[in-house]
Amino acid sequence: MIKKTWLNKINRHQPDKIDREKFLRLDKNERVIKFEKKFIKHLKKKINTFNISAYPDTNRIKKMISKKIKISPKMIYISAGSDLSIKTCFELFTKPKDKVIILEPTFGMVNVYCDVYNLKTIKIGYDKNLNLDLNKLLNSISKSISLVIIANPNSPTGTIIEKTQMIKIINKCNNSKVPIIIDEAYEGFYNFTYVPYIKRFKNLIVTRTFSKSFGLAGLRAGYAISNQKIAELMNKYRPMYEINSIVCLSIEFLIKNYSIVDKHIKEIFLAKKYLKQELKKMKIDYIDTYANFFHIRIKKNTNFEKFLKRKGILVRKGPGVRGLEDYLRFSLGSKLQMKKIIKLIN
């Protein structure tokens, strides 16, 4: 008999019933620009009996990450995607009926974990100008809160909390002894990080993924950075092997050859610049973001999402905020790929 009866109420996203490889995938903020041949060639060479049959060793990538972000490897927790780092924090810091503060809307798995662990949520929403109710957020932080989760930049809104406001939030959490997660999934596209503040604030945890700027969504890898004490506790919750050997090899290669990642980020910014220029010429409203996606206003009742799907392009609903229902969200690819979108919108 299942005792956790509240699990029956949880609705999870169902797998796609289409062959996504046949589409231009602009719906999940994945990398859609082809990798350089030398990366694929390297992986093919490394897929051998040893790397398939031997248990993985994450120590090397932990050291490489620590060197790149200038933090001790003892402050790093490796996970299968940043959502698993976030899940570990839920397991570590909450119990059923506890109160947590989250943004609304935000990364979908945050809501799933709140439901799975049977938590009470205080949701901080946005207005139609995508302004967050920061006063409500600050006033909601107290010793009765078990966890605060903020994606910065946030998804699906693509917005950030300004540094001065974020420091106020972190500081109040710190004074109230409340752990706070800042999820930096889109850090590569937003040139700022709260990692240096971990030494100042003992309650701060920063989570990151290799899915976005690195483009490894299919391999599932991420990590969390925190003070050593929290990292040690998180590592007690980890599976026996967090990620597989092929993932480790991919991360190692891309950190060593970071120019591949950097080139990808630059291509995204060039595509965004082109998109903005063309939409301005066409007098079409759009909402820029601090991430690798973009919101474009589409005329009502046009079923443009279905039209694009028939043309082999996948997109999804926009920011998820009341008053902005006319917008669709487009992941950013190359300038050439964005030209296809402009041609179809025109």
Q: State how far the Cα of 234 lies from the Cα of 78, in Å rounded to an integer.
A: 10
Q: State how far the Cα of 183 lies from the Cα of 171, in Å rounded to an integer.
A: 17
Q: State how far the Cα of 301 lies from the Cα of 306, in Å rounded to an integer.
A: 11
pTM, two decimal places: 0.94
* Nearest CA-CA partner of 212 in 21, 20, 29: 29
The pLDDT confidence band at residue 100, using thresholds 50, 70 and 90, is: very high
Q: State how far the Cα of 243 lies from the Cα of 224, in Å rounded to an integer.
A: 14
pLDDT(49) > 60: yes
pLDDT(13) > 90: no
Q: Residue 205: how many CB atoms within 10 A of its CB?
A: 28
* Residues belonging to the chain: 346
Q: What is the DSSP letter of 258?
A: T
Give mean pLDDT, residues 292-304. 86
At the top level of CATH, the class of 37-256 is alpha beta
**Region(s) of the chain under CATH 3.90.1150.10:** 19-35+259-345
In angstroms, the Cα distances linking 231 to 148, 170, 172, 224, 236 are: 17, 18, 22, 8, 9
Domain 19-35+259-345 has CATH 3.40.50.300: no
**Region(s) of the chain under CATH 3.40.640.10:** 37-256
> What residues contact residue 269 under an 8 Å CB cut-off, 6+ apart?
189
Token digits for 24? 């231009």
> What residues contact residue 214 under an 8 Å CB cut-off, 6+ apart?
188, 251, 254, 261
pLDDT(82) > 90: yes
pLDDT at 10: 81
Of residues 209 and 319, more confidence is placed in 209
> What residues contact residue 218 under an 8 Å CB cut-off, 6+ apart?
none
Q: Answer yes or no: are the C-beta atoms of 149 and 110 closer than 8 Å.
A: yes
pLDDT at 301: 58
pLDDT(1) > 60: no
pLDDT(237) > 90: no
Q: State how far the Cα of 291 lies from the Cα of 148, in Å rounded to an integer.
A: 22
Q: State how far the Cα of 268 lies from the Cα of 244, in Å rounded to an integer.
A: 28
Count Cβ neighbours within 10 Å for each residue of 27-50 and write b for 16 or more, e otherwise. Answer: bbbbbbbeeeeebeebbeebeeee
